[in-house]
Structure 1
């Protein structure tokens, strides 16, 4: 049985109906509640979302909307976070920083419109305030998200958690569980397969650049062939001991050193080679997922993008349901256009929305979600699995993420645990060897072993997690009425 709320939306907000319906559906789905939308003149509802000054219907909770923000979302600015009932919620310019929800005549009134704030973060308006640099990355220098550590606190899904607690305080039962078998959170890894085969004369130079003179022995080992990047079995054994399964994302477009030198950094391997075909069989037979690591320029041409998916499916003999872009390379000016392309190509999920430099959740959610397309004014049908940590955040990008590695990852873990979310991480295929990449695999191993020891974690492949969330969302929608455009 899915608990259901009744909700009335002020008709004066009709111009923003598509956006408002989307964020309410997204939040309530994450919370595990169905909905029954009621007319504004109803006798009584659970929640009234009012723009004022018209009197809202009798309600247990009245949320005061900000029509000015809905009319001009690009003008909103994030100042930081505010504490409401123990949750970190978004604080936007113009909010009453010290204001708290207040009860009047038995109704709880909520100021500052946290519903809009969740939409604003989830739709990418916050990140657009900052400059785009090489590869389409955002430079968050000086941003509250970075300076106050808010990327690691998932402010959008925090709004949903806080609202769910309020509903339970007013007598509703807990929502439909997010994860199977009583799990508090889900966890999975996607290994980007970038350099599984070393170039013997080139890789030693890269080792010396990373490690200096300390890497001389490892460089000699690579030249002699004693050390390689081919560690698929190593990752499988590590994860198997914990009871986990992950995905390996392969690039189907074969690049070259010449292209790399001229600014097209696609990997050099051929997924149709016999040893890759044998690898695909080994991975899939043991329960690991094979996904696409879309090439650097895949986002520029839907036909080529679709051909990459077809090529990998043919080589692997497996369906390719999921994707992550090489270099996180989406359309740098309109990422939603790339997200729409995922739907057009036919992916069930994507896992490309994160910051290359910064640890945490780019769209401020630890819950999977269907992204919003502003031009079409509808949600995109390819599910987004939010990635929280890439291995390089704590190594090559360490200056942007100061602090102890385990402490930073512990903060991610606690956010996911408290919000009942998904911890999806990106650990590259080639970083297993501790001589070549000191501490990289060990950091991942320690995090996964800690999660396993704590219990109540659902380890599954990204595709399995995505399919579970899609089915759960469909179940909630089928039990609900209203909130359409």
Structure 2
């Protein structure tokens, strides 16, 4: 793979709708306006149009990974008793619902990549992951190429064997939600020495310092490190983090990060397109 400074932009669609969080905020802050906003139909987590507008203005595209988390109904008592399962259950959405179909179609027609966000247990459950991929491909109308496992849950190399056997081209689950950097190297990994690639995650917004000045300094430092090492840098920004009321400053940092990457001469786009560029380079060597 020929060296090239590249920045892959990705978004995990975990919770496009704000649900139980409204009640928690109303009780925790003793502010009934939270519930009033919920009853008005406001949805601060739906940020597709805003992300598309930012990236359209900057002349770049990204990948959106859609989740199909199974319901807890019919599951074991052990799963019902697990608080983590409740969070996933209450935040789940139907990828085949009309509103989701419409936004997936808009993304696809506009040149954005639509990929698979494997559900909580699917890193070890190929049958479940195949089902989720078939549903998403039915909505999309063609094959998906890439995947990221929810919560970065990964059991390598077995999870990658599942991905490769399904015909997926790449995975972007290798990384951390608490630390940013190139701990897994500067270039995509070929775990099986074939066409299947792993794009290590460099930045997840929640892993940045909470102070916005320090967060931006870390982003700029990693961009500089990526340029110096001809690295492929992968960035994950959840759409809900563009909601400035709950996550102040994160929208501006994302926009600034993309602008700076373009200014520095990076190739910027979704992992699927980066995969194609790397594959072409490999064939020409």
Q: TM-score range by the shorter chain?
A: 0.7 to 0.9
Counterpart CA distance in 1 for 2:11 and 2:141 is: 19
Q: How far apart are residue 195 of structure 1 and its match?
A: 0.6
Residues 1:188 and 2:8 aligned together: yes
CA distance in 2, matches of 1:362, 1:205: 39
The whole-number CA distance in structure 2 between the counterparts of 1:307 and 1:430 is 26
Q: 1:361 to 1:198 in 2, by over 3 A?
A: same
| Whole-angstrom CA distance in 1 between matches of 2:252 and 2:96 | 32
Q: Give the direction of change, closer, same or farther, for the CA distance of 1:242–1:215 in structure 2 (3 Å limit).
A: farther
Aligned equivalent of 1:390: 204
Structure 1 residues 344, 447: CA separation in 2 closer, same or farther (over 3 Å shift)? same
- Map 1:468-483 → 2, pairs under 5 A: 468-476=277-285
Deviations 1:252-280 (A, max 9, x none): 34435996763433641111112211111
| Two-structure CA RMSD over aligned residues (Å) | 2.7
1:297 equivalent among 121, 128, 134: 121
Match of 2:150 among 326, 334, 348: 326
Alignment partner, residue 165 of structure 2: 344
**Cα distance change, pair 223–394 in 1 and its aligned pair in 2 (3 A):** farther
SS in 1 for 2:165: helix
Secondary structure of the equivalent of 1:305? helix
Equivalent residue, structure 2, for 1:281: 105
Residue in 2 that maps onto 1:466: 275
Give the stretch that moved more between structures: 261-270 or 425-434: 261-270
After superposition, the Cα gap between the structure-2 partners of 1:228 and 1:261, relative to the gap in structure 1 and judged at 3 Å, is farther
Counterparts of 2:80 and 2:194 in 1: how far apart (Å)? 33
Q: After superposition, give the CA deviation of every residue in 1:20-65 in whole Å (9 maximum; x if it has no partner).
A: xxxxxxxxx4xx4xxxxxxxxxxxxxxxxxxxxxxxxxxxxxxxxx
Correspondence for 1:249: 65
* Match among 221, 233, 239 for residue 49 of structure 2: 233
Secondary structure in 2 matching 1:410: helix
- Please state if 1:204 is matched with 2:22: yes
1:133-173 CA distance string (max 9 Å, x none): xxxxxxxxxxxxxxxxxxxxxxxxxxxxxxxxxxxxxxxxx
- After superposition, the C-alpha distances for 1:284-308 in whole angstroms (9 at most, x for unaligned) are 1111110000011112221222221
Equivalent pairs, count: 277
1:166-205 deviation digits (Å, cap 9, x = unpaired): xxxxxxxxxxxx34xxxxx212211100110121xx2125
Cα distance, 1:436 vs structure 2: 2.5
> Structure 2: 5+ residue runs without aligned partners?
none
* Conservation of the 8 A alpha-carbon contact between 1:207 and 1:436: no
Greater RCO structure (CA 8 Å; 6+ sep) = 2
Against the structure 1 CA distance between its residues 219 and 451, is the aligned structure 2 distance closer, same or farther, given a 3 Å change threshold? Answer: farther
Between structure 1 and structure 2, the one with the greater Rg is: 1
In 2, Cα distance between equivalents of 1:289 and 1:218: 34
CA contact (8 A) 1:323 1:350 kept: yes
Instruction: Using the TM superposition, give the Cα deviation of residue 281 of structure 1 relative to its aligned residue in structure 2, in angstroms.
Output: 1.1
Contact between 2:172 and 2:200, CA under 8 Å: does it hold in 1?
yes
1:359 is aligned to 2:180: yes
Shift of 1:419: 0.8
1:388–1:467 CA distance, 2 compared to 1 (3 A):
same
Q: Which runs of 5+ in 1 are unaligned?
A: 1-28, 33-177, 180-184, 372-377, 477-485
SS at 1:442 equivalent: helix
- Note the C-alpha offset of 1:233: 0.8
1:184-227 superposed Cα distances (whole Å, 9 cap, x missing partner): x212211100110121xx21255579xx7498756653453334
Map of 2:190 onto structure 1: 370
Shift, 1:443, TM fit? 1.4
Residue-by-residue CA offset, 1:429-482 (whole Å, 9 max, x unaligned): 22212112212212111211222333x221222110112112222332xxxxxx
In structure 2, C-alpha distance between the alignment counterparts of 1:431 and 1:236, rounded to whole Å: 14
Equivalent residue runs for 1:21-420 within 5 Å: 29=1, 32=2, 178-179=3-4, 185-199=5-19, 202-205=20-23, 207=25, 213=29, 220-255=36-71, 262=82, 263-264=84-85, 265=88, 267-331=91-155, 335-363=156-184, 365-371=185-191, 378-379=192-193, 381-394=195-208, 398=210, 404-420=214-230
Q: Comparing both structures, which one devotes a greater share of its residues to helix?
A: 2
* CA distance in 2 between partners of 1:350 and 1:425 (Å): 13
Structure 1 residue 319, shift from structure 2 partner: 1.8
Residues in 1 aligned to 2:214 and 2:188: alpha-carbon distance in whole angstroms: 28
